Amino acid sequence: MIAVKQTGHSDPFTFDVVIRESGSETHHRVTMSRADYDRLTNGACLPDHCVEAAFRFLLDREPKEAILSSFDITVIARYFPEFEAKLPQYIVAVPTGGGS
């Protein structure tokens, strides 16, 4: 299970992420600029859903323990160049109005 909580709403956005699986959990702090959010999602989802999608992408490629504890979302593309092209496949369409 991936739990994402947006903790900062100014630019950059900040998120606390907890991944629970196999009886253990990891904790992560992620930042994402408004410009990166707009570029990555084109308004297709809320910021916390974008971060959740990014973690689902990561978990398909590495164990939760290998994910950095603190990073900016743009760092993912340094390790996985296909990240930005593949991210839309991981985004669950959720309206951007209201919510988080």
**Residue 50 resides in a domain:** yes
Q: Does the residue 96 lie in any domain? A: no
Backbone angles phi, psi at 93, to 5 degrees: -65, 115
**What is the per-residue pLDDT across 56-82, written as a single tens digit (0 to 9) for each?**
999 999 999 999 999 999 999 999 999
59 is a domain residue: yes
- Degrees to nearest 5, angle at CA 48 with 46 and 49: 65
The verdict on residue 28 lying in a domain is yes
Q: Is residue 48 part of a domain?
A: yes
Domain that holds residue 31: 2-90
Single pTM value for the model: 0.89
**Residue 98: inside a domain:** no
Number of domains in the chain: 1
Q: Mean pLDDT, to the nearest integer, of 17-24?
A: 94
End-to-end CA distance of the chain: 18
Asked if omega into 12 is within 30° of 0 (cis), the reply is yes
